[in-house]
Amino acid sequence: MTIRSRIVGTGSYLPERIVSNAELTKTVDTSDEWIIERSGIRQRHIAADDETTADIAYQSALRALEASGVGIADIDMIVLATATPDNTFPSTATKVQAMLGMEHGAAFDVQAVCSGFIYALAVADNFIKVGQAERVMVIGAETFSRILDWQDRTTCVLFGDGGGAVVLEKSEEGDGIFSTHLHSDGRHGNLLYVDGGPSTTQTVGHLRMSGREVFRHAVVNLAAVVDETLAANNFQRSDIDWLVPHQANLRILSGTARKLGLSEDQVVITVDRHANTSAASIPLALDEAVRDGRIQKGQLVLLEAMGGGFTWGAALVRW
């Protein structure tokens, strides 16, 4: 029997504070109508001053552990996707490892910005497939509010903070992750980046984005990786039950759904309430749709994301 990894529990966490579009209009020249029309975003959660990416990741991980019924003693590895780590080093993953009271195994961060969760999932899935791990905690957690230029209306209205996690477990029952597909193209690094870092400016820097250009690439790259993923597994577009996409822009989500021939109610949408939470957006959306009963055992779920780098990727999962 083929060895695969399957998701046995999901969890997520959003900071308490909600910031509406209306609140943003007090500090930047924007409007509720513009933000909703161009992005579909109505509000975002913003971390408290003393709340870090590790805190958010920890809460998400606790909830995923609880949902899975797996104890921390049985987790072999933590793979954490973030572009907003607590510190340059040590990794946020090792910080979360300590918070969870885990004194064994290995923990490390993965950096692929908004595609981070797909990358982390792929890493964890492959560790399980080759037999080097039986259970892996995969987390996507971000505090993008800390790297936004709050005077730049073209970016600050689009992002939010949050986290999500899944527990992956070895399975020989034919379910689980069928395949993961990762891509990057570093030539486009200047279209979505942070203008600082330890080795360049010795500062953290702020997010900069050429939104229209990123949008154009996202539509093309996501369509290609979705087709590649289906073809690799001999599935048709019509076989997909649920699309759980990275949540950057409602127009990108709707466009991908249309291309796949999916109705909008087969797409898990959280961008309206969470905005773009980068590596956290897929596990946040997944957790919501699992907990409210939309995603059911046996269904085919497609995850996809595109982000800075550029990076993009997809994963196909039999729930």
Which residues of the shown chain bind ligand UT7 in the complex (CB under 6 A)?
30, 34, 38-39, 114, 153-154, 157-158, 211-212, 214-215, 218, 248-249, 252, 276, 306-307
C-beta closer to ligand UT7: residue 41 or 177: 41
Report the nearest approach of ligand UT7 to the CB of residue 267 (Å): 15
Phi, psi (5° rounding) for residue 53?
A: -60, -40
Q: By C-beta, is 38 or 291 nearer to ligand UT7?
A: 38
Strand partners, 136: 77, 168
Could you tell me the smallest distance in angstroms from the CB atom of residue 90 to ligand UT7? 26
Cβ-based nearer residue to ligand UT7, 34 or 235 = 34
| Structure-token pair, residue 207 | 């997010």
Based on the residue annotation, tell me whether 190 is a catalytic residue of this protein.
Answer: no
How far apart are CB 30 and ligand UT7 at their closest, in Å?
A: 3
Q: Distance of alpha carbon 72 from its chain centroid, rounded?
A: 22
Contact 260, 237 (CB under 8 A): yes
Which residue among 21, 221, 249, 276 is the active-site one?
276
Considering the complex, state which of residue 114 and residue 128 has its C-beta at the smaller distance from ligand UT7. Answer: 114
| Nearest distance, CB of residue 200 and ligand UT7, angstroms | 21
Token reading at 47: 């971390």
Q: Which distant-in-sequence residues (6+ apart) come within 8 Å of 50 by Cβ?
A: none
How many C-beta neighbours within 10 Å does residue 87 have? Answer: 11
Give the residue with the Cβ less far from ligand UT7, 212 or 297: 212
The CB-of-34 to ligand UT7 minimum distance in angstroms stands at 4
- Which amino acid appears at position 214 of this protein? V
Active site residue 246: yes
Task: Count CB neighbours of 62 within 10 A.
Answer: 16
Closer CB to ligand UT7, 12 or 171, in the complex? 12
Spatial separation of the C-alpha atoms in residues 84 and 53, rounded to whole Å = 7
Q: How far is the CB of 238 from ligand UT7 (least distance, A)?
A: 26
Q: Which of 173, 164, 152 is nearest to 121 (CA)?
A: 164
Alpha helical stretches, state H, the chain: 21-24, 32-39, 53-68, 92-99, 116-129, 153-156, 211-232, 250-260, 271-274, 281-291
| Residue 243 CB, nearest approach to ligand UT7 (Å) | 16
Say whether 156 is catalytic.
Answer: no
What is the sign, positive or negative, of the torsion defined by CA atoms of 250, 308, 78, 92?
Answer: negative
By three-state DSSP, how is residue 139 classified? strand
Phi, psi of 194 (to 5 degrees): -110, 130
Which residue's Cβ has the minimum distance to ligand UT7?
211
Q: Which is nearer to ligand UT7, 180 or 278 (CB)?
A: 278
| Catalytic-role residue among 45, 181, 206, 246 | 246
Q: Give me the sign of the Cα torsion angle 266, 11, 291, 234.
A: positive
Q: In the beta sheet, which residues pair with residue 184?
A: 311
Q: Which of 21, 114, 156, 188 is catalytic?
A: 114
Catalytic residues: 114, 246, 276
